[in-house]
Amino acid sequence: MPVIKKKTEMPKRGASERATDFEEVALGYSAEQALDEARRCLFCKDKPCIKGCPVGVDIPAFIKLITEKKFLEAYLKIKETNYLPAVCGRVCPQEEQCELLCTMGKKFEPVGIGRLERFVSDFAYKEKTSETSLRRNRGRLQNKKVAVIGSGPGGLTAAGELAGAGFAVTIFEALHEAGGVLVYGIPEFRLPKEIVRKEVENLRKTGVDFKYGCVIGKTKTLSQLFSDGYSAVYIGIGAGLPKFLGIPGENLNGVYSANEFLTRINLMKAYRFPEYITPVKKIKNAAVVGGGNVAMDSARCALRLKAENVYNIYRRSREEMPARKEEIINAGEEGVKFNFLLNPVEIIGDEKGFVRAMKCAKMKLGEPDESGRRRPIVIQGEFSMFEVDTVVIAVGAGANPLLPGTVSGLKLNKWGYIEINPETMETSIKNVFAGGDIVTGSATVISAMGAGKKAAGAMIRRLAE
The pTM score is: 0.92
Q: Which of 65-69, 216-220, 340-344, 420-424 comes out lowest in average pLDDT?
A: 216-220
- Return the pLDDT at 38: 97
Backbone angles phi, psi at 171, to 5 degrees: -100, 125
| Section 229-239 average pLDDT | 95
Enter the CATH code of domain 15-129.
1.10.1060.10
- Return the pLDDT at 136: 44
pLDDT in tens, 314-340: 999 999 999 999 999 999 999 999 999
* Confidence label for 191 from pLDDT (cuts 50, 70 and 90): very high
| Section 344-353 average pLDDT | 97
What whole-number distance in Å separates Cα of residue 450 and Cα of residue 50? Answer: 13
Backbone angles phi, psi at 47, to 5 degrees: 50, 60
* Confidence label for 133 from pLDDT (cuts 50, 70 and 90): very low
Domain(s) labelled CATH 1.10.1060.10 in the chain stretch across: 15-129
* Confidence label for 2 from pLDDT (cuts 50, 70 and 90): low
Instruction: Using the predicted structure, report yes or no on whether residue 128 has a pLDDT greater than 60.
Output: yes
* Confidence label for 58 from pLDDT (cuts 50, 70 and 90): very high
- Return the pLDDT at 57: 96
Residue pair 235/420 in contact (Cβ under 8 Å)? The answer is: no
pLDDT in tens, 197-212: 998 998 998 899 999 9
In terms of Cβ atoms closer than 10 Å to its own Cβ (0-12, 13-18, 19+), residue 8 is buried
Q: What mean pLDDT value characterizes the chain?
A: 92
| Section 56-83 average pLDDT | 96
- Return the pLDDT at 140: 47
| Section 420-441 average pLDDT | 96
- Return the pLDDT at 297: 97
* Confidence label for 1 from pLDDT (cuts 50, 70 and 90): low
Sequence-ordered alpha helix ranges (H) in 245-336: 258-266, 293-304, 325-334
Q: How far is CA 321 from CA 132, 317, 318, 444, in A?
A: 42, 7, 5, 16
Query: How many Cα atoms within 13 Å fall on the side-chain side of residue 461?
Result: 10
Of residues 442 and 130, the one with the higher pLDDT is 442
Concatenate the DSSP letters of all residues of 183-236 into one string.
HHTS-TTTS-HHHHHHHHHHHHHTT-EEEES--BTTTB-HHHHHHTTEEEEEE-
Phi-psi region of 269 (alpha: psi -120 to 50; beta: other; left: phi over 0): left
- Return the pLDDT at 132: 41
- Return the pLDDT at 271: 82
- Return the pLDDT at 33: 97
Q: Which of 22-36, 121-135, 221-235, 441-455 comes out lowest in average pLDDT?
A: 121-135
Instruction: Using the predicted structure, report yes or no on whether residue 137 has a pLDDT greater than 50.
Output: no
Instruction: Using the predicted structure, report yes or no on whether residue 252 has a pLDDT greater than 80.
Output: yes
- Return the pLDDT at 405: 82
Q: How far is CA 63 from CA 71, 80, 179, 283, in A?
A: 9, 14, 28, 45
- Return the pLDDT at 100: 95
Domain(s) labelled CATH 3.50.50.60 in the chain stretch across: 135-240+398-463, 244-395
| Section 212-219 average pLDDT | 92
CA-based nearest residue to 237, from 217, 260, 251: 217
- Return the pLDDT at 141: 55
Question: What is the CATH T-level fold of the domain 244-395, as seen in this structure?
Answer: FAD/NAD(P)-binding domain (3.50.50)
What whole-number distance in Å separates Cα of residue 155 and Cα of residue 151? Answer: 5
- Return the pLDDT at 432: 97
What whole-number distance in Å separates Cα of residue 268 and Cα of residue 265? Answer: 6
Query: How many Cα atoms within 13 Å fall on the side-chain side of residue 460?
Result: 22
> May I ask the CATH class of domain 135-240+398-463?
alpha beta
